[in-house]
């Protein structure tokens, strides 16, 4: 049985099945109250890693999480992302050091934290030298404003270049049972003990793939989504899925996937599905 926890950067212990807050909306009541209730329920059900971003409602998602969960339990860590900005009503990748520094300061204020334990660069800005983008994150770490640095949507080459500049604790790429484009990045993370946070972990898939996943789900008395999440947890000990939902039912269903044990036969059948899918 694989571990239910992972130490990000070798020291930040989180339960491997986390929660993505992107779909929670800082909208007026009653949507806001519903979003707050879901965030609180996630923590009540044992989530210790929540993922958000400056980009999600331009800080509104971070504020919502603070309203829902502050003061935070000791074991809870909220990871955020910077580097996608709103400029003249349009979003753009913006990794200029003063912008990253400002977005981190905004996040600290909105999340009501002295230190963000995991700060991820949402995207590498192609118009700013990588050494400048990671350099300022390294400075923020030295200043104690952030604990660990992560990346998002990177190739193996970008990960290698980043690691030659600063220590990287996590990578967040799109990856699920049926979408394994970033398999080489996952393998690089596994080799280096870097946390891999697959986004879009709730895989839909084509009808053929769905039929096989449904068959495994029926054998286990589980749902297809639970099988997809259990497969991710079984795929690699460095994988920390961050499924998102706006509903209690899906939240409970998704988090229960941590208790689902796939047999080697189930794992292999799903592995084949993903190759076809
Ligand atoms: N780094 C990046 O570039 C990036 C990009 C996108 C997302 N992310 C992060 O990754 C997290 C997850 O990504 P995601 O939201 O794109 O993908 P996801 O978690 O795979 O999918 C979320 C969608 O699936 C539905 N869903 C959740 N549980 C379900 C279940 N048990 N059965 C059926 N449907 C279910 C949700 O609808 P309901 O609300 O109806 O449950 C929602 O529409 C985000 O919250 C965000 O933190 C990162």
Domain holding 76, by residue range, is: 5-203+237-245
- Structure confidence by residue, pLDDT tens digits, 19-71: 999 999 998 889 999 999 999 999 999 999 999 999 999 999 999 999 999 99
pLDDT recorded at residue 206: 63
**What CATH number is attached to the domain comprising 158?**
3.20.20.100
Q: What pLDDT sits at residue 1?
A: 62
Task: Evaluate whether residue 273 is within a structural domain.
Answer: no
For residue 210, what pLDDT is reported?
81
**What distance in angstroms lies between residue 61's CA and the mean position of ligand 1's atoms?**
15
Specify if 211 maps to a domain: no
Residue 254 lies in a domain: no
Please, which pLDDT band fits residue 188 given cuts at 50, 70 and 90? very high
Q: How many domains does the chain have?
A: 1
Instruction: State the DSSP string of 113-173.
Output: -S-EEEEEESS--TTS-HHHHHHHHHHHHHTTSEEEEEEES--HHHHHHHHTTS---EEE-
The fraction of the chain above a pLDDT of 70, given in percent, is 96
Tokens of 85: 């900005």
Residues 149-162: what's their mean pLDDT?
98
Residue 21 has which token pair? Answer: 């807050």
- What number is the average pLDDT over the span 191-211? 86
Residue at 86 is within a domain: yes
Q: Residue 276: is its pLDDT beyond 70?
A: no
Report how far ligand 1's centroid is from the alpha carbon of 136 (Å).
30
**What is the number of residues in the chain?**
277
* Half-sphere exposure in the Cβ direction for 200 (13 Å, CA): 15
User: What is the distance between the alpha carbons of residues 273 and 277, in angstroms, rounded to a whole number?
Assistant: 6
Instruction: Kindly state whether residue 264 falls inside one of the protein's structural domains.
Output: no
Residue 146, strand partner residues:
116
In this predicted structure, the answer to whether residue 103 has a pLDDT above a threshold of 80 is yes
The answer to pTM > 0.85 is: yes
The pLDDT score that the predictor gives to residue 267 is 94
The values of phi and psi at residue 99, to 5°, are -70, -45
Compute the distance between CA of residue 37 and CA of residue 209 in angstroms, rounded to an integer.
34
Instruction: Give yes or no for residue 250 CB within 6 A of ligand 1.
Output: yes
Q: Is 175 noted as a catalytic residue in this protein?
A: no
Q: Is the shortest distance between the CB of 246 and ligand 1 below 6 Å? A: yes
Q: Which atom of ligand 1 is nearest to the CA of 250?
A: 31
Identify the active-site residue in 56, 72, 93, 175.
56
Q: Does residue 262 belong to any structural domain of this protein?
A: no
213 found inside a domain: no
Contacts of 127 (CB under 8 A, 6+ apart): 93, 95
The answer to the question of residue 180 being in a domain is yes
């Amino acid at each position: 049985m694989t571990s239910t926890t992972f130490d990000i950067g070798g020291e930040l212990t989180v339960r491997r099945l986390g929660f993505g807050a992107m779909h929670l909306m800082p909208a007026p009541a009653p949507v806001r109250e519903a979003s707050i209730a879901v965030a609180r329920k996630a923590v009540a059900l044992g989530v210790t890693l929540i993922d958000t971003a400056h980009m999600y409602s331009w800080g509104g998602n971070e504020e919502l999480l603070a309203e829902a969960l502050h003061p935070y339990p000791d074991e809870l860590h909220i990871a955020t992302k910077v580097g996608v900005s709103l400029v003249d009503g349009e979003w753009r990748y913006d990794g200029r050091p003063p912008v990253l520094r400002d977005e981190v300061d905004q996040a600290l204020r909105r999340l009501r934290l002295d230190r963000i334990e995991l700060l991820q660069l949402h995207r590498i800005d192609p118009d700013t030298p990588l050494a400048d983008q990671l350099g300022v994150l390294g400075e923020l770490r030295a200043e104690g404003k952030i604990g660990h640095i992560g990346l998002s949507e990177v190739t193996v080459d970008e990960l290698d270049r980043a690691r030659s500049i600063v220590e990287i604790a996590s990578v967040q790429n799109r990856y699920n049972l049926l979408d394994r484009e970033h398999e080489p990045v996952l393998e690089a993370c596994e080799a280096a003990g870097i946390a891999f946070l697959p986004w879009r972990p709730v895989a839909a898939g084509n009808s053929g793939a769905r039929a096989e996943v449904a068959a495994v789900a029926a054998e286990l008395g589980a749902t297809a989504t639970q099988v997809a999440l259990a497969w991710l947890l079984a795929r690699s000990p460095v994988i920390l899925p961050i499924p998102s939902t706006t509903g209690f039912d899906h939240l409970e269903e998704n988090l229960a996937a941590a208790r689902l044990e796939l047999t080697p036969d189930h794992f292999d059948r799903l592995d084949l599905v993903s190759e076809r899918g």
